[in-house]
């Protein structure tokens, strides 16, 4: 079963709802991403940041199954770039297979990020 079959909504819609109900998770993500950038990292991983948060910050969330769903990792990176456009180059993005159209970015044919 995929995410939509399990939850009845798209991953993007799930992320939007989760992020609205758990803004402290994004704040922690942003803090750790900016910390990595300040330490000179030119490329960072959303997965690494999410796992660091899971293991080092004992945060709670409203999700009854997962503290932070792995399906949201790429959305956290996109949210970070949306809020910190000067640091857009630290994450590598690919087109999201589950997206049709939405308020998030995808990689354009020229390799640049396009907001859709």
Three-state DSSP at 36 gives helix
Bridge partners, 114 (sequence order) = 106
How confident is the model over 17-65, as pLDDT tens digits? 999 999 999 999 999 999 999 999 999 999 999 999 988 877 666 666 6
Identify whether 99 is part of a domain.
no
Average pLDDT, the chain: 83
Identify whether 113 is part of a domain.
no
Identify whether 32 is part of a domain.
yes
Considering its fold, how many domains does the chain have in total?
Answer: 1
Question: Cα dist. 28→4, 8, 45, 51, 90 in Å?
Answer: 27, 28, 14, 12, 17
Q: Terminal CA-to-CA distance of the chain, rounded, Å?
A: 27
- For the cut 70, the answer to whether the pLDDT of residue 102 exceeds it is no
Task: Return the structure tokens found at 47.
Answer: 């997965």
Residue 86 lies in domain: 3-90
Identify whether 107 is part of a domain.
no
Predicted TM-score (pTM) of this structure: 0.80
- Cα separation of 113 and 104, whole Å? 10
Identify whether 105 is part of a domain.
no
Identify whether 85 is part of a domain.
yes
């Amino acid at each position: 079963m995929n995410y939509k079959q399990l939850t009845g909504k798209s991953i993007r819609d799930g992320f939007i709802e989760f992020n609205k109900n758990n803004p402290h998770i994004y704040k922690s993500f942003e803090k750790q991403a900016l910390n990595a950038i300040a330490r000179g990292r030119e490329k960072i991983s959303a997965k690494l940041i999410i796992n660091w948060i899971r293991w080092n910050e004992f945060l709670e969330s409203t999700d009854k199954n997962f503290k932070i769903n792995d399906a949201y990792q790429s959305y956290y990176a996109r949210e970070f770039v949306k809020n910190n456009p000067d640091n857009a180059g630290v994450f590598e993005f690919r087109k999201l297979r589950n997206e049709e159209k939405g308020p998030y970015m995808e990689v354009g044919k020229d390799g640049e990020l396009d907001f859709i």
